[in-house]
Amino acid sequence: MNDDEGKELLAAARFTDSNECKTLIPAARGSAGKTLLEICEGIDEASAQYRQNLKTRLQHQGEW
């Protein structure tokens, strides 16, 4: 791996971590006191936002 590839990999890892911290983790942490349906809906919404953030960042169709 050359320096440019390493920088790209680090940037991708940081983006993925940040994206997860802004979408999926809050949805999971905010589930206390909610019904199962509300929890599932919240996770679904967070997942959709997570995927949209990936598409916006990567600018192409992926496996999500």
Average pLDDT per 10 consecutive residues for the chain, totaling 64 residues? 91 95 96 96 97 88 60
Residue 54 domain-assigned? yes
Check: CB of residue 51 under 8 Å from CB of residue 24. Answer: no
Residue 43 domain-assigned? yes
pLDDT at 35: 97
Residue span of the structural domain in which 40 resides: 35-59
Q: Structure pTM?
A: 0.80
- For residues 2 and 16, give the distance between their C-alpha atoms in angstroms, rounded to a whole number: 21
Total domains present in the chain:
1
